[in-house]
Structure 1
């Protein structure tokens, strides 16, 4: 046999096989057909939806074929109808019964295993109705006291018993003869339970839920959880595999389109997987043969599967693994070949733990009757750390408990955490906290703000001042002399003058030359230029005519433009210049007619230094005017070094320091632009994981609350649902308060010891729903085993 399929006109919600497994009925919103199953195809026998005379204008939510009579098929509809179809009739007579007892959608119908006329249904209205198809209305009504009933199944081990699962995560066991109250009720899952199925051989009940688990319960006496299977999506349907005690098939409601067959003894990887569907599967039915089953899905297809075409995920699984505990010990599992496995089992010097592991794998594989696990023998190795490293792990817990991460200033937090690190023998981390305080403490931030607001006038005041007041007086007098000479006002924007002192110096021992010289310092767009203006006829060897001064003053503006460009070029290389005492360097004593100036170029003078581009003055004692243009005071940005330091600690495995410093920095994190959010999230989640290993749940909650990243602080918004029942009438409490919807009792809020309302920590028993103050219950259970109310229940408090 091989895999084949038949397409449909729309999504298929359910399917059911007849007692001989030769025909299949499929139903959906627009589909209700019956097919004969042949060797390599499906052959259509009847299309019930195609009849024009039948009132079937509603979608088919579930289908059940009588296991004792091939003539009857029951369907559940979304409008609350339960219909029974007689396949021996045609036309309108085919619809044997149309029950309209339910007020909302019917989720499930199920025929009795031994009585062909008995039928039960579960609805969204929270009721279950027991029908005799020979009668026009329901025989018995069962109230689950829940919002909805998702699945009902008759027990193959007790003809009077059936199970029901609900949206509140509970499982109820009923006796048909006692509709007043269920025999047993227990909370099976943390979310809605969508399906259940009885094991055909033993009294096991499998339940599937939205919490992505399949649980197997032993109902021999008290409900006991035997196995738990963890899946990747919410499970909508489960079916035990015939003739295989530990195998069960499942299909998901969302995400996963595969049909997986699990071995409950190895719950983390499917035993076999079938990937033919392109949308989620909605139903499974075994053909009585453990190697063949049928499935339907929302991809408009019905498939006939064989195990020969199954995919075995275990064969592709990684045979190696590693685990680390809180103390740093490492467990390492490594795959062994068949030869290595034999040698390991026969060697007397081999690791005893490896021997036990190989022996266990052999024992499991040999106990399989037909289907076997994928063979993967492995050896297990245990590595322990030395005492110093173990001490390091204890220090992490001590630091986490004593660190303060909020509620104070950055300086105070860093100072406290530095002292904590030093106390527990972590001097390097203590120094790191000190550095963070120095860089990002309140003092640093205040200085940074002050420096950034310093204006240009304050910068100029920090320049080298004029040496003496006499120079200022001479400057003012010289300005007035220039005005008296009739100097023309300069155009706006050309320059604004500041006149230097009049320098007097001697040219030799025998002869003294006194020259009055004015050094003009022009400011053009903030840059100084230097101009020399004479106030009278010179007494030196260069003589100007009467009109020479006028000519020089007339050309002052053009000289300024040249001087500005020259200074602009030099200012880019040097920030400070010293004005020389004279416009020309000191010359020798004049005896004859002075030679042309070309014979004495300035750059040949020994007093001019080309390397430093500064003018050397013979007499340094003379007060000089020095003008400097200091650069803007630039702020030092330590963010790069801080980011590198945090990454260094993270690489060394000290994720605690990196995460805690980020939290303490607070708003100063905006300066760490080199550190992206992905790295910050990685550090925070890593620290949370480490704290979880040490069971430091309060600190974990604190870290999550202090986080600034949505992916981290939303972890606390993932609520946990706890289903509790009224201690008086046992009805599940649906609301957030303490008041029961049925009996309007508030006894659940009272302590069973002191009979007072519990306003603090509350503890209760999930079996009898009685509880009270934590301390009172602790004192009671220290000397008693039964409940304090006298209900004689052996309480197990949560």
Structure 2
């Protein structure tokens, strides 16, 4: 349940019987009763025509022994006590004006009714006896401002103070001249601290370094025993009642949520409350023996009561396994030890029968909402084969790129890749053999630029005419010409050439055409078809190009151009000079990307490919943006 306040809240506190809660801020100071299903306003302590700065509260505390006694820390440096038993409207009791700057924290002694402690921006802590008008002791931290002060539950005379410079000091109220112990707890200001209600030697601190640390103060030297990493500066910490390892936190800025942590598992919150829309400024458990209700105030001018069963559990959304590749190809896998154990699969078969000589014990099952399963995890690292790059040398020595039919080259290279444990590469060679070496032939010269000498080649496509092509598969293709052997680095997987019987009967077909991918500036279906000079008859072997990105030259005319494609001159993508020399052969060239894209959109006839190739291309098209290597643009 929740209620709207008049103004943002800076702090909240509950009375001893948890029946009422006080909310204090710069412009609000009210007491609400906690009804069954709502908050009911009981008292407004901001009375008077013009309330003074004494009502502008930075902190408030309700005494746990006297239900009528409250204390506030004002922004003008005044410490005020309030007596709710007064018959008048003004419940103000005493004013202590000894601090020179804002008082950040006030704290009552857990067993002494009249002992009040304060910490201020001026770097001093003062102990007040409410039966006197002035402070009885002044403690100088000889440091920057005091952020929090808390009396120890374990030691009657001890209190802890946290400072702006990251230090924590322990003091004895009987010795105001110097502290008993000091240690550096955080990198930066320590905003809050809280003594553990059960293990009275534990002190929790929270700071601007986004950490909550738990210190064991039972030894001569403070020992850090737990550390929780949060995502924002920690403004408040409160141990959860009757849960030894649970602690609640809220942040000073950025993060509006309230987190309950199990300090034994510091990386994921045990529970989260996400109701507030602005920074949470105060949290308090409703009762010292009730761990299921949490009260909170916020700068969004709301007061909430949270029920623990409604909290969100981040661990329920966390991935229980982890998988990651290393820089050199190693694979790391982390999971529960039960999954990592090699004997887990045979555990049932190897289980021994029950021995009746031993008694049966019954254990109480813990509440699953209040406990997390403490499971050990294991990490396995699998080394990648060939991590020393020896596979690269072996590949260069054993690959065959020319001198045999194309199908034999693909099979040989796939076998080499498999022997080197390069499974993806082997699959790629096999796919190339299926694509390029289906039934059909084409002149070897058509692949001299990229394949070397080969007798077997394409076409993988069934016979078709250009008029039967679907729209978008070449009717708007742009032309580009590349020079000589400079496009030799367009490897098998980057392009495909398609031959047709009609092409051999076309006039001027003595000059073979090489069909390659070019720049794709428009639609993926726009393919570039270029004419190359006839390669030298003596050039039979594959030769690496001299330039990674070949230079361009003039586009030459092709007398075998189709009449219905000569109108390309009107295209806005082509200049007038290019339009005069452009031409397309009767057989169109398609890349794997364009074919798969067309298949995926059902823009090709059903019999355009044989079923196996069609299924394969559709499968790769459905994997996303085409997983095979893509050619680089010359530009």
* TM-score (norm. length: structure 2): 0.56
Q: Which residue of 2 aligns with 1:216?
A: 214
C-alpha deviation, 1:331, in angstroms = 3.1
CA contact (8 A) 1:328 1:390 kept: no
CA contact (8 A) 1:291 1:306 kept: yes
Q: Is the alpha carbon distance of 1:29 and 1:344 closer, same or farther for their aligned partners in structure 2, counting shifts above 3 Å?
A: farther
1:11 is aligned, of 8, 11, 21, to 8
List aligned pairs for 1:636-675, cutoff 5 A.
Answer: none
CA contact (8 A) 2:125 2:138 kept: yes
C-alpha deviation, 1:209, in angstroms = 0.5
Q: Which residue of 2 aligns with 1:194?
A: 191
**Deviation string for 1:475-506 (max 9, x for gaps)?**
xxxxxxxxxxxxxxxxxxxxxxxxxxxxxxxx
Q: Distance in 1 between matches of 2:242 and 2:28?
A: 32
CA contact (8 A) 2:54 2:76 kept: no
Number of aligned positions between the proteins? 380
List aligned pairs for 1:345-744, cutoff 5 A.
Answer: 346=347, 371-373=370-372, 380-385=379-384, 389=388
Q: Distance in 1 between matches of 2:33 and 2:141?
A: 38
Q: Which residue of 2 aligns with 1:250?
A: 249
C-alpha deviation, 1:381, in angstroms = 2.7
C-alpha deviation, 1:337, in angstroms = 9.8
Higher relative contact order (CA 8 A, sep 6+): 2
Q: Distance in 1 between matches of 2:7 and 2:389?
A: 62
Q: Distance in 2 between matches of 1:342 and 1:50?
A: 74
CA contact (8 A) 2:57 2:75 kept: yes
Q: Distance in 1 between matches of 2:256 and 2:299?
A: 10
Q: Distance in 1 between matches of 2:80 and 2:390?
A: 71
Q: Which residue of 2 aligns with 1:321?
A: 322
Q: Distance in 2 between matches of 1:321 and 1:71?
A: 55
Instruction: Please state whether the residue corresponding to 2:264 is helix, strand or coil.
Output: coil
C-alpha deviation, 1:183, in angstroms = 0.7
C-alpha deviation, 1:185, in angstroms = 0.3
CA contact (8 A) 2:9 2:28 kept: yes
CA contact (8 A) 1:54 1:92 kept: no
CA contact (8 A) 1:54 1:91 kept: no
C-alpha deviation, 1:191, in angstroms = 1.1
Q: Which residue of 1 aligns with 2:306?
A: 305
CA contact (8 A) 1:108 1:151 kept: yes
**Deviation string for 1:522-580 (max 9, x for gaps)?**
xxxxxxxxxxxxxxxxxxxxxxxxxxxxxxxxxxxxxxxxxxxxxxxxxxxxxxxxxxx
Q: Distance in 1 between matches of 2:235 and 2:309?
A: 25
CA contact (8 A) 1:49 1:56 kept: no
Residues 1:84 and 2:81 aligned together: yes
Q: Is the alpha carbon distance of 1:298 and 1:93 closer, same or farther for their aligned partners in structure 2, counting shifts above 3 Å?
A: closer
Q: Distance in 2 between matches of 1:54 and 1:274?
A: 35
**Deviation string for 1:351-403 (max 9, x for gaps)?**
xxxxxxxxxxxxxx9787861226888664332356963999xxxxxxxxxxx
1:126 is aligned, of 118, 123, 135, to 123
Residues 1:59 and 2:52 aligned together: no
Q: Distance in 2 between matches of 1:312 and 1:51?
A: 46
Q: Distance in 2 between matches of 1:274 and 1:99?
A: 37
C-alpha deviation, 1:318, in angstroms = 1.6
Residues 1:96 and 2:93 aligned together: yes
Q: Is the alpha carbon distance of 1:127 and 1:266 closer, same or farther for their aligned partners in structure 2, counting shifts above 3 Å?
A: same
Q: Is the alpha carbon distance of 1:69 and 1:307 closer, same or farther for their aligned partners in structure 2, counting shifts above 3 Å?
A: same
Instruction: Please state whether the residue corresponding to 1:311 is helix, strand or coil.
Output: coil
* TM-score (norm. length: structure 1): 0.45
Q: Is the alpha carbon distance of 1:61 and 1:376 closer, same or farther for their aligned partners in structure 2, counting shifts above 3 Å?
A: same
Structure holding more helix per residue: 1
Q: Which residue of 1 aligns with 2:295?
A: 294
Q: Which residue of 2 aligns with 1:502?
A: none
Instruction: Please state whether the residue corresponding to 2:17 is helix, strand or coil.
Output: coil
Instruction: Please state whether the residue corresponding to 1:314 is helix, strand or coil.
Output: helix
C-alpha deviation, 1:639, in angstroms = 10
Q: Which residue of 1 aligns with 2:229?
A: 230
C-alpha deviation, 1:133, in angstroms = 1.1
CA contact (8 A) 2:53 2:76 kept: no
Q: Is the alpha carbon distance of 1:334 and 1:49 closer, same or farther for their aligned partners in structure 2, counting shifts above 3 Å?
A: same
Q: Is the alpha carbon distance of 1:378 and 1:169 closer, same or farther for their aligned partners in structure 2, counting shifts above 3 Å?
A: closer
Q: Distance in 1 between matches of 2:171 and 2:346?
A: 52
Instruction: Please state whether the residue corresponding to 1:290 is helix, strand or coil.
Output: strand
**Deviation string for 1:208-249 (max 9, x for gaps)?**
010011001011112000011011111100100000000000
**Deviation string for 1:129-163 (max 9, x for gaps)?**
00011111111000011110000000011110000
Residues 1:259 and 2:243 aligned together: no
CA contact (8 A) 1:272 1:313 kept: yes
Task: List runs of 5+ in structure 2 lacking aligned partners.
Answer: 352-363, 392-546, 551-635
Instruction: Please state whether the residue corresponding to 1:206 is helix, strand or coil.
Output: strand
CA contact (8 A) 2:338 2:344 kept: no
CA contact (8 A) 1:122 1:129 kept: yes
Residues 1:183 and 2:184 aligned together: no
Q: Distance in 2 between matches of 1:37 and 1:140?
A: 37
Which structure would you say has the larger Rg? Answer: 1
Q: Which residue of 2 aligns with 1:786?
A: none
CA contact (8 A) 1:227 1:265 kept: yes
C-alpha deviation, 1:10, in angstroms = 0.8
C-alpha deviation, 1:321, in angstroms = 1.4
Q: Distance in 2 between matches of 1:127 and 1:269?
A: 37
